[in-house]
Amino acid sequence: MVPSVKVERKPPRSGRVACRSDSASARRAEREPPVDLKFRYFVDSNGRQHFNFVQHVWLQPQIEMAVTPVPTVALETLAVNLLTEVTRERDYVAAVGVTSRRVMLLASTFCDECLLTAQGNGWVIPRASVKSWLAAHLRKRSVNSP
Per-residue pLDDT tens for 75-109?
999 999 999 999 998 999 999 999 999 999 999 99
What are the φ/ψ torsions at residue 39 (nearest 5 degrees)?
-90, 135
Q: Is the pLDDT of residue 16 over 80?
A: no
CB atoms within 10 A of CB 55: 18
Assign 3-class secondary structure to 33-90.
CCCCCEEEEEECCCCCEEECCCCCCECCCCCCCCCCCCCCHHHHHHHHHHHHHCCCCC
Are 110 and 133 contacting, i.e. CB atoms less than 8 angstroms apart? yes
Helix (H, G, I), strand (E, B) or coil at 17: coil
Q: Could you report the per-residue pLDDT of 100-118, keeping only the tens digit for each?
A: 999 999 999 999 999 999 8
